[in-house]
Structure 1
Amino acid sequence: MTSVLILGANGKIARLATHQLLTETQHSLTLFLRHADRLSVSDPSRERVIEGDATDVAQLSRAMTGQDIVYANLAGSNIEAQAQAVVSAMKNSDVKRLIWISTLGIYDEVPGKFGEWNHQMLDGGYLEPYTAAAHVIETSGLATTIIRPAWLSNDDTVNYELTQRNDSFKGTEVSRKSVADLVVSIINDPTTHIGASLGVNQPNTDGDKPAFY
């Protein structure tokens, strides 16, 4: 059994991953979020909820005690500060394995018309802090995996392919359920994708922009 700390546990992908972990594994889950009353525990023997701020190193360090893996599903304009705090807390707590959700476009890796559209949508306050946060993670010295999803849908499907850091991004969209499945697969085998930055897309969704736009 693995002990997993989920940061930003109220996020849509995090909720899907939590449900899958509870359904398919015996892992122990610690759910960390700003407002604990947003979550209800379905299995008290395997879940605990901690209210905290992901920029607070002391709070994060306490939550990381005894954890094997940290899965960070964080967001916000202060994402770089959150990344710095998570890295500091992991080093304080001697936790090595980190799964970090980022976004497509942080390496200017999205080609063609879709890449131009993605820049138009994300430049000017969103892409820049996520790029900076990813740099913090990549240079942390921890055993990290960065996940860069395509534009997210709520489709009830698990269907995805991966690209690596230096590959051109494929596709335009992917389901949140697919991203959650990838997270769970890494938690189940944490030796996989160490040091990788994975682009995640649904096959055959190439185009100038996602179909739902």
Structure 2
Amino acid sequence: MKVAIVGASSRIGMEAIALFLKETDAELHLFLRNAKKLADLDLDLAGDRVKIFEGSASDEAALLPALTGVDFVFASLAGEMEAFAKTLVKVMPEAGVKRLAFVTTLGILDEVPGAFGRWNADMIGPYLPPYRAAARVIEASSLDYTIIRPAWLTNAPEVDYEVTLRDEPFKGTEISRRSVAALALEIAKHPELYSRENIGIDKPGSDGDKPAFM
């Protein structure tokens, strides 16, 4: 298996790198703006299993070599989300890869109920439109996608998650970045899992009107 991690220097991306190296024999294509940021990882990235590509995820020419020949793309990005989504939708077919897991955020479907939903909208409402637009671009494509909507993210060193589907109310208030990466790993190993679905992910039992760490 060959896997491209787009946004490899994000905290979720770094968790994914560690999990894929530890739990699989996959070859990794790591795509990020600045390779020096990977120095924060206490991992040997110099072996034959890892290739590093630098560039912007909105740059088709830079992204194409990183995606060529891979089986699965995991994207964890921030910034110009709609532009990134459009580039992936264009470049992935050119590179010969269809399976994508793409991280957005909770709230883009107005799916978060109750007091937490109102608090979440107050806190991140202005940030939702770019993530919503990116999701729509991907859902309108022919890619075999999974859109992942995480709860509020923590750095807890744990894998503990539950999933909600598009037409279900969101559960929980928080989730570890490692859990999001672990979900991506499961999708890479089982490509039929959550195929062409838009899913939420949270930590079971993390209920309340806001995340516990706030």
TM-score by length of 1: 0.96
Q: Distance in 2 between matches of 1:144 and 1:190?
A: 10
Partner of residue 93 from structure 1, selected from 88, 92, 95 = 95
Q: Distance in 1 between matches of 2:54 and 2:85?
A: 18
Percentage identity across paired residues of the two chains:
49
The alpha carbon displacement at 1:94 in A equals 2.3
RMSD value, Cα: 1.0
Q: Distance in 1 between matches of 2:83 and 2:202?
A: 27
CA deviation string 1:73-113 (max 9, x = no partner): 1111x110011011100122221111101100000000011
> What residue identity is the alignment partner of 1:165?
R
Give the match for residue 111 of structure 2.
Answer: 109
Q: Distance in 2 between matches of 1:117 and 1:75?
A: 22
Partner of residue 48 from structure 1, selected from 41, 47, 51 = 51
Q: Distance in 2 between matches of 1:67 and 1:118?
A: 36
CA deviation string 1:110-137 (max 9, x = no partner): 001100001001112x111000000011
- Contact 2:69 2:96 (C-alpha < 8 Å) held by counterparts: no
Q: State whether structure 2 residue 195 is matched by structure 1 residue 194.
A: yes
The alpha carbon displacement at 1:190 in A equals 1.3
Give the match for residue 118 of structure 1.
Answer: 120
Q: State whether structure 2 residue 213 is matched by structure 1 residue 212.
A: yes
Give the match for residue 155 of structure 2.
Answer: 154
The alpha carbon displacement at 1:43 in A equals 4.6
> What residue identity is the alignment partner of 1:160?
Y
Q: Distance in 1 between matches of 2:66 and 2:114?
A: 43
Q: Distance in 1 between matches of 2:64 and 2:50?
A: 18
Q: Distance in 1 between matches of 2:174 and 2:4?
A: 27
> What residue identity is the alignment partner of 1:24?
E
Give the match for residue 13 of structure 1.
Answer: 12
> What residue identity is the alignment partner of 1:63?
A
The alpha carbon displacement at 1:62 in A equals 2.0
Q: Distance in 2 between matches of 1:133 and 1:89?
A: 15
Partner SS, residue 123 of structure 1: helix
> What residue identity is the alignment partner of 1:69?
F
Partner SS, residue 178 of structure 2: helix
Partner of residue 84 from structure 1, selected from 83, 86, 109 = 86
Give unmatched runs, 5+ long, in structure 2: none
Runs of 4+ in 1 over 3 A off after TM superposition: none
Give the match for residue 35 of structure 1.
Answer: 34
Give the match for residue 178 of structure 2.
Answer: 177
Give unmatched runs, 5+ long, in structure 1: none
